[in-house]
A and B are shown apart, each in its own frame.
Chain A
Amino acid sequence: MQGLTGRFVETVDWVSERLSRIASWCVLVSCAISAGNAMIRYGFNIGSNAWLELQWYLFAVTVFFGAPFLLKVNEHVRVDVLYVLRTGRGKAMTDLLGLIFFFMPVCLAMIHLSINIVTDSWHVQEMSSSAGGLIRWPVKALIPIGFVLLAIQGVVEIIKRVAFLRGTYDMDTHYEKPLQ
């Protein structure tokens, strides 16, 4: 793969990689906040809704910024009973059809459906219903943002599969179930 397409693929892969690092950091920060919150509440009997909510705001970042990277490294779990029997080309073909007929429509539908709840939330400047809570639209916006990122990575994965099937790109089609 050369030229503009190649550059596009590289750029998107690079961005997804960077976003996944932010996602990893959010795990640590969110965990520290939660532990700190619990100790402070137990020790001093003070609770803060803002800190409580910040934990799951950060977790949402972990999930939605991590997912495109997982797509890139092929770690979204599959039912692999039949999948493992296929050759590299067969796997690439399965992925290609899946990406076009399953993945992209899902991303587009999700973006379409979720954009409304973000704009609604933005217009009324919706706040958390609990006292001292956080403003809602940023975390709601993560849903369409996450699916936009996924869709872009999806386009890149489609390009990779097509190039692989035409023999102009070398990729590892090996799939192993994520450890659990």
Chain B
Amino acid sequence: MITMGNAAPIMFGCLVVIMLIGFPVAFSLAALGIGFGYLSVALGFFPETFMANLPLRIFGIISNELLLAIPFFTFMGAILERCGLAEDLLEGTGQLFGGVAGGLGFAVIIVGAILGAITGTVAASVIAMGVISLPIMMRYGYDMRFATGVIAASGTITQLIPPSLVLVILADQLGRSVGDMYRAAIGPSMLQVAIFMAYTAALAVLVPKRMPALPAEARTVHGWKLWRQVLWGMVPSVVLIFLVLGTIFMGIATPTEAGALGAVGAIILAALHRRLSWTLVRQAMESTMRLSAMVMFILIGSTVFSLVFQGVDGNVWVEHMLSNLPGGPVGFLIAVNLFVFFLAFFLDFFEIAFIIVPLLAPVADKVLQPLLPPGAPPEAAVIWFGIILCVNMQTSFMHPPFGFALFYLRGIADQIFKNKTIPRPILSKDIYLGSIPWVVMQLMLVGVVIAWPGSVTYWLGAAEKIDLDKASETLRQMGGAATRGGATTLPGASAPAAAPEADPMEEIRRQMQQDADKKK
């Protein structure tokens, strides 16, 4: 029989079974939560009023200002992925690096990192780079396993490189500031690019015939004209990245506003490239609506599940199980990473972030603090943990046969063969085998980030070293805003106990103050 003691494990078991049925996740989760909730009420585990918390939680989700960043960042990416930026970037960098062995590989990695930062969707990066680079790579005799591997892997950097939607969601779930998550991800994403580059360079030296240099007649643009093309593709996007990140890091705007400003920037950038059209904006709006509604409903479903799961002491059960793992903190990290790696075969990032991460985070907070490098603030433990998981979950796009990036690439390869852009089909076997070295490299990065927490905390600490003039300037402005805004928001702030939700202006100021405080 179900007792309070075994309710949590039973509920978790049901979760696995129900998810595998294949009915939409959001409603399966909610159904499990609600079914178990009313069962628990009937069995007397918690009072019926407990269920009345559900709509309040849902209201909490929709009134969460940070989650507004989801549509804004998605909208920004949706515009940029449609405005031909990928083509311009790849064309230029391909010509620039084409002359050396492996040059197209380097071009794909660099462009993948830039596209990843600004568009934020793996699918967009992989599809764009596949369509453009695969035919060229095939024409000039690149090994197809290398070609498909490098494209898929460079597309998945998107997950980790700031400003990434994934990090916003992790920040929300881990209860840390988005600015901190972004700072923490700088080191690992640079490492990831470096590892990919080093591997490509090593292969280019050892087996140049797998990735030959382009012949002279393929490189049609030279000199100043080439540089102009490269810069024209790259500079506006890099400026946009720094505007979005900079306004967050310097505490000028909240992450949500930075996303909205980024979307405005994206529209301007599309106009600069003469590709802005009403159709483009409408398509971007619609795909943003689809993604936002989907993600928010997964979040609603997970919230229903989590509320009831906590009601039957599920969090206590998980914590008990995880803190008794052999091997102390390192054992915990290894076990959790294996678990998430395995889950990522079946679940998307969003499901893992909304269901699993909140269960793991409190344990990680306790267990991991002793492993931090000296001088790092204790709240960095959870941030470090989040980044490790983020790197880990990148692999879910890459491992055969379910990996998403491989799946997109498969689709692209068929499509360009059908319209005769490439002379022969690309075998699934090549796509699968080609991905393996890159998955191994991603796992190596998981190992590096675990073994070297400094790679995450370095940039967290670096925020304090930002030059003092700028910091005090920002602080003065913040102070001004605070006193000015204070007058208008005082009534709300004076009765915090009566206020069921935080004053949004207050909230923004708090977030910005947090970021500004780092610079003191």
Question: A residues near B, CB below 8 A?
Answer: 20, 23-28, 30-32, 34-35, 37-39, 41-42, 45-47, 49, 52-53, 55-56, 59-60, 62-63, 66-67, 69-71, 75-83, 86, 94-95, 97-98, 101-103, 105-106, 109-110, 113-114, 116-117, 129-133, 139-140, 142-143, 177-180
Contact = CB atoms under 8 A, between A and B. Distances in A.
A110 B291 contact: no
Interface stretch (B83-91, B223-231, B414-422, B483-491): B483-491
A65 to B, nearest CB: 8
A92 to B, nearest CB: 12
A131 B362 CA distance: 35
Closest A-B pairs by Cβ, 10 of them: A83-B22, A98-B23, A66-B293, A34-B260, A76-B24, A102-B31, A38-B257, A129-B499, A114-B55, A130-B503
A150 to B, nearest CB: 9
A147 B399 CA distance: 37
A129 B500 contact: yes
Contacts of A143: 55, 58-59, 62
Given A109-B34, A116-B52, 14 more contacts: A24-B285, A27-B288, A31-B260, A46-B484, A52-B65, A53-B504, A56-B65, A76-B294, A102-B28, A106-B30, A110-B34, A113-B55, A130-B504, A177-B348
Contact of A70 (B64, B290, B501): B290
Interface stretch (B68-76, B207-215, B377-385): B68-76
B290 A75 contact: yes
Nearest to B299: A63
B280 to A, nearest CB: 12
Interface residues of B, number: 92
B261 A35 contact: yes
A27 B75 contact: yes
B253 A132 contact: no
- Chain A interface mostly helix, strand, loop or mixed? helix
Contacts of A109: 34, 38
* Residue of A27, A71, A113 with most chain B CB atoms under a 10 A cut-off: A27
A42 to B, nearest CB: 6
Contacts of A114: 54-55, 58
Contact of B22 (A47, A53, A79, A103): A79
A66 B289 contact: yes
Contacts of B72: 31, 34
B353 interface: no
B286 interface: yes
Interface string B251-265: 011101111110110
B106 to A, nearest CB: 26
A27 B491 contact: no
A94 B123 contact: no
Contact of B260 (A35, A63, A76, A179): A35
A34 B62 CA distance: 16
B121 interface: yes
A18 B162 CA distance: 35
Contacts of B55: 110, 113-114, 116-117, 143
Interface string B15-27: 0001111111111
A39 B59 CA distance: 28
Contacts, number: 241
A140 B55 CA distance: 9
Contacts of B264: 31-32, 35
A63 B293 contact: yes
B62 A129 contact: no
B285 A106 contact: no
Interface string B287-307: 111111110111000001000
B506 interface: yes
Given A102-B27, A143-B59, A131 B65 contact: no
A59 B18 CA distance: 30
Contacts of B56: 117
A28 B381 CA distance: 37
A28 B260 contact: no
A42 B512 CA distance: 12
A25 B34 CA distance: 32
A115 to B, nearest CB: 9
Contact of A55 (B28, B68, B495): B68
12 contacts: A32-B264, A38-B254, A56-B64, A76-B297, A102-B30, A113-B54, A116-B52, A117-B59, A130-B503, A178-B294, A179-B287, A180-B121
Contacts of A75: 290, 294
A49 B504 contact: yes
Nearest to B126: A179
A116 B51 CA distance: 12
Interface string B319-353: 00000000000000000000000000111111100
B164 to A, nearest CB: 12
B488 A132 contact: yes
B31 A106 contact: yes
B23 A94 contact: yes
Contacts of B260: 31-32, 34-35, 38
A81 B343 CA distance: 12
A36 to B, nearest CB: 8
Nearest to B247: A38
A95 B27 CA distance: 11
Contacts of B21: 82-83, 94, 98
